[in-house]
């Protein structure tokens, strides 16, 4: 283990990693661990290796004798040739994060968060979420034997709360302004010795770096032109960009792909600020979108994502619910069932191609963040068909109809 520095993404103030620290105590912007510029991949058998062993050099602050994993990561990168052809771009790949232990990318950051909480001696962890992150933290907390607190909003649906409850955390429906709960939880954590693994905390960002590392390996270090990330709080897009940046610093890749922050028009605070050329996001007053997993009206890393796009040369874009549902159906046709939020990148590609931003010679990677089975309510918004037939008539029925 070696100590690393952690600094504010806005004012640059250095902080210490010897306590649970999540935001800058000077300007309240998110913190980021120093860029690792000297590392290599531990090539080995991925059937026996964990992602934390393979990319160990990029996590010098974690205690390798105290690793914790449920087998997150090593998710497939699928090339979608037919879809690329029909959209008119030269390459399209989907990083299928639905294949993580709790069916979303969140497990990567949860694992790092738990390892960090253990390093600091915490016995209690927590999170604020109504979806993917709540399920992930509940599962990992249970498996790690830690007392786990999950704060959800009071109007959470049965479909969403039941999978969280199955892992048996302290599950608390909180009445009041859900948007403020993120900031409130950091205070509650301090007062009650709970390590909050919230959406964009530094360790969650560190976990998401592995998505970029894997993409580099899966594409034989030939970088795509764009990586499109459905963006809510901003932790995942930050981690993915940092991962590419670190591999470039270590000489493993020649260039960092451009990052596209994709949001739903029904809740697009980062896109709105980007579009208006502003340095700071403003709260979306009445968010409404089918892409619930990215429906964050005031993303805690929103300003940092704007800074990231500026440095990286990437852009922000947003799509309608109708475009999202169309993309969800297109992905299902290719065998990948993503939740609506996970269909936002494909919808964005189609839109950016139609608008002429994409010329046609680009290679693009979409991050499919979470499983379609997490939000079955979206199925009712599609035209779904089935037929009925008696068993003894089935053969004739098929001959006559197909």
Residues of this chain that bind Zn ion (CB under 5 A)? 8, 10-11, 13, 24, 26-27, 29
Q: What angle do CA 326, 330, 331 make, to 5 degrees?
A: 120
| CB-based contact 70:111 (threshold 8 Å) | yes
Residue (12 or 44) nearer to Zn ion, CB: 12
Residue (308 or 324) nearer to Zn ion, CB: 308
From the CA atom positions of the chain, what is the Rg in Å? 21
Question: Least distance (Å) from Zn ion to the CB of residue 304?
Answer: 11
Residue (26 or 389) nearer to Zn ion, CB: 26
Run of H or E residues at 196: strand 195-196
Residue (29 or 295) nearer to Zn ion, CB: 29
Residue (13 or 326) nearer to Zn ion, CB: 13
Question: Least distance (Å) from Zn ion to the CB of residue 27?
Answer: 3
Question: Least distance (Å) from Zn ion to the CB of residue 14?
Answer: 10
Q: Any alpha helices (H) in 38-196, and if so which ranges?
A: 51-54, 81-87, 106-119, 132-143, 158-166, 178-192
DSSP letters of 89-130?
-SEEEEEEGGGSTTSBTHHHHHHHHHHHHHHTT-SEEEEE-S
Question: Least distance (Å) from Zn ion to the CB of residue 11?
Answer: 3
Distance from C-alpha of 139 to C-alpha of 259, rounded to nearest angstrom = 30
Question: Least distance (Å) from Zn ion to the CB of residue 10?
Answer: 5
Burial of 103 (0-12, 13-18, 19+ CB in 10 A): buried
Residue (4 or 26) nearer to Zn ion, CB: 26
Residue (29 or 323) nearer to Zn ion, CB: 29
Residue 268 makes CB contacts below 8 A (sequence gap 6+) with 284, 316, 318
Question: Least distance (Å) from Zn ion to the CB of residue 303?
Answer: 11
Distance from C-alpha of 264 to C-alpha of 391, rounded to nearest angstrom = 45
Reduced to 3 states (helix: H, G, I; strand: E, B; else coil), residue 155 is: coil
* The token pair that represents 123 in the structure block: 């016995």
Distance from C-alpha of 97 to C-alpha of 195, rounded to nearest angstrom = 25
* The token pair that represents 227 in the structure block: 């990586």
| CB-based contact 74:218 (threshold 8 Å) | no
Order the strands of the 31-33 sheet from edge to edge: 14-15, 6-8, 31-33
Residue (303 or 378) nearer to Zn ion, CB: 303
Residue (238 or 374) nearer to Zn ion, CB: 238
| CB-based contact 252:214 (threshold 8 Å) | no
């Amino acid at each position: 283990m070696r100590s690393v520095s952690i600094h504010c993404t806005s004012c640059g103030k250095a902080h210490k990693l010897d306590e649970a620290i999540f935001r800058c105590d000077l300007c309240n912007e998110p913190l980021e661990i120093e860029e690792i510029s000297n590392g290599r991949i531990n090539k080995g058998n991925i059937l026996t290796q964990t992602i934390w062993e393979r990319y160990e050099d990029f996590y010098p602050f974690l205690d390798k004798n105290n690793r914790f994993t449920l087998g997150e990561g090593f998710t497939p990168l699928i090339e979608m040739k037919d879809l690329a052809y029909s959209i008119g771009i030269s390459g399209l790949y989907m990083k299928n994060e639905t294949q993580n232990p709790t069916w979303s990318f969140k497990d990567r950051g949860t694992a790092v968060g738990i390892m960090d909480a253990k390093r600091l001696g915490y016995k209690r962890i927590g999170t604020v979420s109504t979806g993917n992150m709540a399920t992930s933290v509940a599962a990992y907390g249970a498996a790690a034997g830690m007392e786990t607190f999950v704060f959800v909003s009071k109007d959470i649906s049965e479909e969403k709360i039941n999978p969280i409850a199955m892992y048996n955390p302290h599950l608390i429906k909180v009445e009041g302004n859900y948007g403020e709960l993120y900031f409130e939880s950091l205070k509650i954590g301090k007062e009650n010795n709970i390590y909050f693994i919230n959406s964009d905390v530094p360790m969650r960002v560190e976990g998401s770096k592995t998505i970029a590392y894997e993409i580099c390996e899966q594409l034989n270090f030939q970088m795509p032109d764009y990586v499109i990330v459905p963006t809510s709080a901003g932790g995942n897009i930050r981690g993915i960009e940092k991962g590419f940046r670190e591999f470039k610093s270590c000489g493993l890749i020649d260039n960092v792909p451009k990052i596209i922050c994709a949001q739903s028009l029904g809740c697009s605070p980062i896109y709105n600020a980007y579009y208006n050329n502003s340095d700071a996001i403003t709260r979306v007053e009445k968010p409404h979108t089918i892409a619930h997993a990215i429906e964050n009206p005031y993303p805690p890393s929103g300003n940092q994502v704007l800074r990231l796009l500026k440095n990286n040369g990437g852009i922000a874009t947003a799509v309608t619910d109708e475009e999202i549902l169309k993309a969800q159906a297109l992905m299902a046709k290719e065998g990948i069932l993503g939740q609506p939020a996970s269909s936002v990148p494909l919808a964005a590609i189609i839109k950016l191609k139609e608008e002429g931003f994409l010329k046609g010679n680009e290679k693009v990677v979409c991050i499919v963040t979470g499983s379609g089975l997490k939000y079955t309510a979206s199925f009712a918004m599609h035209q779904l068909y089935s037929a009925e037939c008696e068993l003894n008539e089935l053969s004739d029925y098929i001959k006559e109809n197909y």
